[in-house]
Amino acid sequence: MKQTNATHRAAIHRRSAFTLIEIVIVLTIISILGAGVILMTKGYIDTAKETRVQSDIDKIMSALQMYEARNLRMPTTDQGLKALAEKPTTEPIPERWTTLMEEVPKDPWGQDYKYKNPGTKSKKGYDVWTVGQDGIDGNEDDLGNWKSTAAAK
Residues 96, 93: Cα–Cα separation, whole Å: 9
Q: What is the mean pLDDT of residues 82-86?
A: 92
The CATH fold of domain 2-145: Glycoprotein, Type 4 Pilin (3.30.700)
Average pLDDT, the chain: 84
Q: Which amino acid would we find at residue 127?
A: D
Q: Return the CA Rg of the chain.
A: 30
Give me the pLDDT at residue 142, please. Answer: 85
Q: How confident is the model at residue 83 (pLDDT cuts 50, 70, 90)?
A: very high
Bigger pLDDT: 105 or 153? 105
pLDDT value, residue 151: 47
What's the pLDDT score for residue 153? Answer: 40
How much is the pLDDT for 81? 92
Kindly state the average pLDDT of the residues 112-134.
89
Name the band, by pLDDT with cuts 50, 70 and 90, for residue 13: low
106-110 contacts, C-beta under 8 A, 24 or more apart: 107/53, 107/56, 107/131, 107/132, 108/49, 108/52, 108/53, 109/49, 109/133, 109/135
Q: Which of 13-17, 78-82, 121-125, 148-152 is most confident? A: 78-82
pLDDT at 2 over 60: no
Task: Kindly state the DSSP code that residue 18 receives in the 8-state scheme.
Answer: P
In this model, does residue 145 exceed pLDDT 50? yes
Contact 106, 81 (CB under 8 A): no
Q: What is the DSSP string of 27-49?
A: HHHHHHHHHHHHHHHHHHHHHHH
Q: Are residues 85 and 104 in contact, defined by beta-carbon separation less than 8 angstroms?
A: yes
DSSP 103-124: SPPBPTTSPBPEEESS-SS-TT
Does 67 have pLDDT greater than 70? Answer: yes
- pLDDT at res. 79: 93
Question: Under 8 Å CB-to-CB from 63, ≥6 apart: which residues?
Answer: 84, 100, 101
Averaged pLDDT for residues 68-76: 92
Give mean pLDDT, residues 56-61.
93
Could you tell me the CA-to-CA distances from 115 to 55, 80, 120, 122, 140 in Å, in that order?
A: 16, 6, 11, 11, 17
